[in-house]
Structure 1
Amino acid sequence: MAVRLRAHHLLCMLTFVGRGYTPAFTANYMRIIARLNAGEPVELVEGPDDICAPMLKEQGSHCRTESVAQRDAKASAALAQRLGLVLEQGRRIVLTAETLAQMRAAYAEGAVRAACTGCEWAPFCTDIAGQGFAGTRLSGVRINPPVGSGSPD
């Protein structure tokens, strides 16, 4: 399996501390974070994704608006440039601790924040980044060093 995510949610996850639009939304997000921390890959999608799922039944859900699609395009372009990856629909990525560190550094510098313009959560996320991402839930997968590369016991 893979967690289906739209591009701008790659940024949102960097500052997720367990708060969201509704209790159902937050509980779903926590399950997704647990899956990613366990090593399940992300599959990039266009439009509503696994994080959007609890919001889709609500009338006027912003998940299908053009402004959110534009947010995805901006996030994809900025992250692709920073990470040196092609981020297109269907691409699978494992979020390692190292990749998340790169993404968080770019986020803190403002290098990938164009997608956040106009988002109601932007000030909250800016505060989280300013606190060194303390309390965030996404830790990423740790890549174990090859056997024999560590110091002897």
Structure 2
Amino acid sequence: MRKPVKLRAHHGMCLAFFEGKGYSSGFTANMEKVKNSLREDIPVELCMEKDVICSACPNLEKGVCATAEKVKKYDIMVLSACGLSEGSQISWQEFSQAVGKNIIKAGRRKEICGDCSWTEICTRKEKEEQ
């Protein structure tokens, strides 16, 4: 079996709404690369620490996340809503479906990450899909 991609739990929501905008051009390019690499059968290991997306984030300063407590709360809530735990290894398809069903379609996104700096994009996309 292929080695799992380490992925912060809340990034399941970020990837669902990502539209090519980000903190910086480097971050955006990395996010696009990660999104394009996650095919249905790719295994992911859910975590609450630096992952493949964080590696290009300007909030990561000398290996320490400037928004660590805030995003850890998002991770905990995503895992709980999806009935998963830190370290769970599942396919990208299973995880993205769990996020879609238990958070996005259930109308819980704002509850989990409504204070995120990108919430306007997610809110707009949710309205477009209604």
Which runs of 5 or more residues in structure 2 are unaligned? Answer: none
Q: Which moved more, 1:118-127 or 1:101-110?
A: 101-110
More strand by share: 2
Q: 2:99 aligns with which of 97, 100, 103?
A: 103
TM-score by length of 1: 0.68
Q: Which runs of 5+ in 1 are unaligned?
A: 81-86, 134-153
Give the equivalent residue in structure 2 for 1:92. 89
Question: How does 1:130-149 map onto structure 2 within 5 Å?
Answer: 130-132=127-129
- Higher radius of gyration, 1 or 2: 1
**TM-score normalised to the size of structure 2?**
0.79
User: May I ask how many residue pairs the two structures share in their alignment?
Assistant: 125
| 1:136 aligned residue | none
Q: Whole-Å Cα distance in 2 between the matches of residues 27 and 78 of structure 1?
A: 29
**Partner of 1:8 in structure 2?**
10
Change (3 A) 1:58 1:22: farther
Asked whether 1:62 is paired with 2:66, we answer yes
1:2-40 CA-to-partner distances (Å, cap 9, x unmatched) read: 221111111111111222111111111111112212632
- Paired position in structure 2 for 1:76: 79
2:125 aligned residue? 128
Superposed CA deviations along residues 90-120 of structure 1, whole A, max 9, x for unmatched, are 2112122x76455335414413442213111
> Following TM superposition, by how much is the alpha carbon of 1:62 offset from its aligned partner in structure 2, in angstroms?
3.1
* Aligned residue identity for 1:39: D
- 1:102-149, Cα deviation, whole Å (9 max, x unpaired): 53354144134422131111121111122229xxxxxxxxxxxxxxxx
Sequence identity percentage: 30
Measured in 2, the distance between the counterparts of 1:66 and 1:50 equals 19
Aligned match for 1:45, one of 23, 44, 47: 47
